[in-house]
Amino acid sequence: MLYTLITGASKGIGKAFALECAQRGMNLILVARSGHLLEELSTELSAKFQVNVRTHTADLLDHAVQRKIFAWINENGFEVNMLINNAGMGYYGKFEQQPLEKHLEVLHLNVDAQIRMAHEFLNASNPNQKRYLLNTVSTGAFQPVPYMAVYCATKAFMLSFSRALRFELRKQSVNVTALCPGGTETDFFTPAQMDGVAEKNALFMMKADKVAKAGLDGLLSNKAVVIPGWYNQIGAFAARHAPQGIVVSQASSFFKPD
């Protein structure tokens, strides 16, 4: 029996991925810090879609937890052929005015934890089985964004990593996709202290289920990069081709604190 492993699965895009995968008959291993939310989601998906759902409560900010997750998977005899590497976080405001610890948490969860998950997955999964790896990135990967400097730098890193890893694995049976959503209707903005930014950009927000569907479709069809929403695609194109001074200035206008 094959399983899809989803991190950050209790809320937002991760929860939307769980729903989308379950609708397609995929068995799931759901990982997040919120154990009670995982159990509620597991009960819902198992009953509604008749798929096998396992949950594992873990804090991916723990440097050793990725190895522990895959040790638990191995001990239980679960075979994982798809990793949706989704857990992430952001923090908003002028760099020097925010706690250094918050910046380092963003760096660790968005980069270090995702790389550790990908490495464990590729080494633990069956090389003779078709495998799938999706990294949830962001349109923030395409340009520097003032007031979210660390967050967008981590996303640029993960986009570069995903593209390079895809090339390394091109002769193996592994799909690697970077999902780069723009603003999405999730609870990301409140802990990131970005409610005001979300309100200013409400017109361009996408539903999490649309983002998850686009990401899963892209992964299964082996797309390198998926950017859901035509306005996000235009923005990413402009960010890559316009003068960088203009790009940074324009990004600042969207994210400047009130």
pLDDT tens digits for 61-80? 998 999 999 999 999 999 99
178: left (phi over 0), alpha (psi -120 to 50) or beta: beta
Whether 91 sits among the annotated catalytic residues: the reply is no
**Region 40-59 average pLDDT:** 96
CA torsion angle for 223, 85, 162, 160 (degrees, to 10)?
120
In this structure, is the dihedral angle defined by the CA atoms of residues 75, 76, 77 and 78, taken in order, positive or negative?
Answer: negative
Whichever domain contains 122, its CATH number is: 3.40.50.720
Residue 22 has pLDDT above 50, yes or no: yes
* pTM for the model: 0.90
Contacts of residue 110, Cβ cutoff 8 Å, sequence gap at least 6: 88, 89, 151, 154, 155, 157, 158
Domains identified in the chain, total number: 1
Report whether 208 contacts 13 (CB < 8 A). yes
- Cβ atoms of residues 31 and 85 within 8 Å: no
pLDDT of 1 > 70? The answer is: yes
pLDDT digit string (tens) for 113-131? 999 999 999 999 999 999 9
Of 189, 213, 177, 181, whose CA–CA distance to 16 is shortest?
A: 213
Domain of 145 in residue numbering reads as: 2-255
Residue 102 has pLDDT above 70, yes or no: yes
**CA 186/CA 196 separation, integer angstroms:** 14
Q: Which pLDDT score is estimated for 205?
A: 76
Catalytic: which of 91, 132, 151, 231? Answer: 151
